[in-house]
Amino acid sequence: MLRIACPYCGVRDEPEFIFGGPAHVTRPNAQVDDAAWTAYLFNRKNPAGTHLERWLHAYGCGRWFNVARDTRTHQILQTYVMGPPPPDPNDA
């Protein structure tokens, strides 16, 4: 069971949250070709290492935020609010 630091509420148990897939996925405009649109729908990176992802504090404050998690160890390196661009890996 993960313990996740919601930027608004502090550290809480994993069952309070819903996982929301990779973060910083940019929605392209409708003019892109089929290949680019399909890539946006389905293609995702699957790193063995730091993964930037979205979580929702569903049974808490109800806000979405971002998490940098190591997919090998589940160590959570950082959590940060929704909106800003991804953190510089050199800072983490």
Partner 1 sequence: MTRRSGPFRLPQGGLIDRARTISFRFDGRTYTGHPGDSLASALLANGVQTIARSFKFHRPRAIFSCGNEEPNGLIQLDHSDRTTLCARAPLIELHEGLEAHSQEGWPSVRFDVTRVLDFVAPLWGAGFYNKTFIWPSWHAWEPLIRRMAGLGHAPCGEDPDRYDLHNLHADVLVVGGGRAGLNAALQAAREGVRVVLAEANPALGGHNASRQESGTGEVVAELARLPGVRILTRTTAVAAHDHNVVSLIEQLDSPRKTAPRERYWMVRTKHIVLATGAIEQPLIFANNDRPGIMLAGAAWQYLQRYGVAPARRVLIATNNDSAYAIAHDLAEAGVAVLAVLDTRADGAEHPRGSEQPAHTQWLPGRIPLDTSGFDALRSVTVGRLSRDALRVVSRQTFSCDGLLVSGGFAPALQLYSQCGGKLAYDDASGVLQPEGEVAAVEIVGSASRRVPVGPRVSPTGDTHRQWVDLAHDVTVADLELAVRENYRHVEHVKRYTTLGMAADQGKTSHAQALEIVGRLRNAPPRQLGHTTLRPPIVPVTLGAIAGRDIGERFAPKRRLPMHEWHASHGAIFHDFGGWQRPVVYIKSGESREQAALREARAVRTAAGLFDGSSLGKIEVEGPDALEFLDRFYINNLKTLQPGRARYGLMLRETGILFDDGTIVALAPNRLLITTTSGNAVRVYQWLEEWRQCEWPSLRLTITPVTEQWAVVSLAGSRARTVLAKLECDIDLAPAAFPHLNMREGTLLRLPARIYRVSFTGELTYEINVPADSGPKLWEALVDVGEKEGLQPIGLDTLMQLRLEKGFLHIGTDSDGTTVPDDVGWGKVAQTKQADYIGKRSLALAEHVRADRLQLVGMRALGEKPFVIGSHLRVQGSSSPTDGWITSAGIATLTHEPIALALLRSGRYHLGEDVNVFDDGALIGRARVVTPMFYDPTGERMRG
| Chain residues in the site for partner 1 (CB under 8 A) | 1-3, 13, 18, 20, 27, 30, 32, 34, 37-38, 41, 54, 56, 58, 62-64, 73-74, 76, 82-83
As measured in angstroms, the least distance from the Cβ of 60 to partner 1 is 13
Tell how far CA 43 is from the center of its chain.
15
Instruction: Collect all residues with Cβ–Cβ distance below 8 Å to 21 and sequence separation of at least 6.
Output: 44, 53, 54
Closest CA to 54 of 31, 32, 29, 25: 25
**Residue number, 21 or 90, with CB nearest to partner 1:** 21
As measured in angstroms, the least distance from the Cβ of 7 to partner 1 is 13
